[in-house]
Structure 1
Amino acid sequence: MTPIYLLRATALKAASLLLVLLGVSFLTFLLYFFAPGDKALAIANARYNGEGSTSPQLVEQIRLETGLDHPFFVQFYNWIFDVIQLDFGLSLVSQEPVSEILMSQLWETLELAISSLVIGMTLALTLSLISVWKPKTLIDRFAIAVSSVGAAIPSYWLGLLLILLFAAELQWLPAYGTGSMAHLILPASALSLSVLASQTRLIRSFLLEASAAPFLEALKLRGVGPKELFFKHIVRHAFVPFITMLSLELAFLLEGAVIVEVVFARGGIGSLLVHSVMSRDFPVIQCIVIFSAVTYVSINSAVEIFQWSINPVSRQA
């Protein structure tokens, strides 16, 4: 890839990222604005724990303080103008900077997502390699069964089963909370099943496609052995789509960790989002939505640019 082509591709991706962020911000603000219920009352109840102090005067004071008395476009303009300056404002409930709240919870989600990705990808890669190396055997059928069954089991349902067995019945592991490696095992296991199921199917198909490449016959005629042919050529040929799916899977996991964090009562962006929605803490909600959009689009754009740089054919797509 020439520097000019790379620069143009990066500029186009940056422009698309800005459009996506603007669209996501507007839609989220629109849904929040027209959501039922009194937002000022919900904020007052969350801020003061609903201890009988939510008088009409206090609710009206909060409405004026947060600008909820302004029309839709005025509220959106005031908010987006600050966001452009990377100022996400203060939480309507705790009065803390939104960016600090997000960063304090980000590590919990990253820890869960990366742990699930490592577990799921390691098992999927191992199972796929053995499956393709020994086709039409018991391990091959097992890989197909895992990818089918795992795709049909929701992470939250598996999480509840793991809590019932390992926490309630056997009492080997804690059922909820954070703070130690033991608290991470069950939620990471529940979330990694979706990675194992989807990636086993994809990696296996990548390897099978690479096994049918025409150049392999020429290598066989040159006397290349089966092991060298498989590990040096077939696996390397399937490496590019594998890296692509690895990157995108991490973006999906950062979003999919929301339900698992709630099931296991963990800290993290997912739990923060649920609590913010319940308390109508819009600045926190919007910051989390924008962070998710930036993460997904940035990873997706980086993967596409990586593909363009190493695969000339993909540039014409």
Structure 2
Amino acid sequence: MTPFASTLLAWFDHHGRHDLPWQHPRDAYRVWLSEIMLQQTQVVTVIPYFQRFVSQLPTLPDLAAADEDTVLALWSGLGYYRRARFLHRAAQVCVEKHGGELPRDFDALAALPGIGRSTAGAVLAQAYGLRFPILDGNVKRVLTRYHGIAGHPSERDVEKQLWLHAAAHTPGERTADYTQAIMDLGATVCVRTRPLCAMCPMRSDCVAHRDNLTAQLPTPKPGKAIPTRNTTMLILRDTDGRVLLQRRGAQGVWSGLWSLPEADGTDGAWREAQRHARIDDAQALTPFMHVFSHYRLQIQPLLFDGATPAHAIADNADLRWCTLAELPSLGLPAPVRSLLTALPEPTAL
């Protein structure tokens, strides 16, 4: 075991996180689910979603057998919904090809939808104690600072160096604890801004700490302007309080989720609304902004109260009139769910 690993494990025994819900039990399904949820999402946010998910879908075969709406509804609010669809498909592949379990073979595991090298390593290391390195965002930050590696971690040469260091430091004993330890160090001590170097067990050998480079490493990605787009969301509500929902297509953001019909501007919204219902009036609700990783979406909600459905939609699987009570069972984008649950009372007729 390298000095890096032994020092880190000694710190972990006293300061690491030992009571995360996916650690008890620490089986492959729960580790995998947590790893997917934790991609670009903090632990404190993930915990309630994880607990709700496993309470309804406690095993991999349960996940494989669930319909997509159930999976997306459980995921709703976590964002990056492609993760949920990959998770669902990977579970189905495991049932079809691997006896309903995640394979212990690295290549077979990494070939599943949504599972790359680092996630596969995390599952094998934490669930089975196998010696495979990981390189998630927290680990990249720790190793970049410790070894003083300049350049953005996504650059091929930089990433190659980081993988070599990750493999060299990963011990053959207590691999599961080490994997959790290096993630914990990055998440709680070697944080992105204002790292807590005085509390870090690695500070005496850390290049960034020695050379006062913690604010410069990891090297930031060159910034670029984030554009703003505009849309009008149509809230068609009939006299029974049902709202018309539309399933989004396979491409773009929120793909496959139930959302509201959209249009460009008020005139476009009226034309789109008249395709689905007979309407008399519209009420502009408070506009709001939703920020994605690559652009901002300025949303103007337009409420059409007392709408009369223009025709039956039974033959269109991508349209449905829903009551508020039905919303929890559907996968909806978080801002759309919030918008619908905060609607004003229907206008008296």
Return the TM-score normalized by structure 1. Answer: 0.24
Return the TM-score normalized by structure 2. Answer: 0.23
Which has the larger helix fraction?
1
**Which of 1 and 2 has higher RCO (CA within 8 Å, sep 6+)?**
1
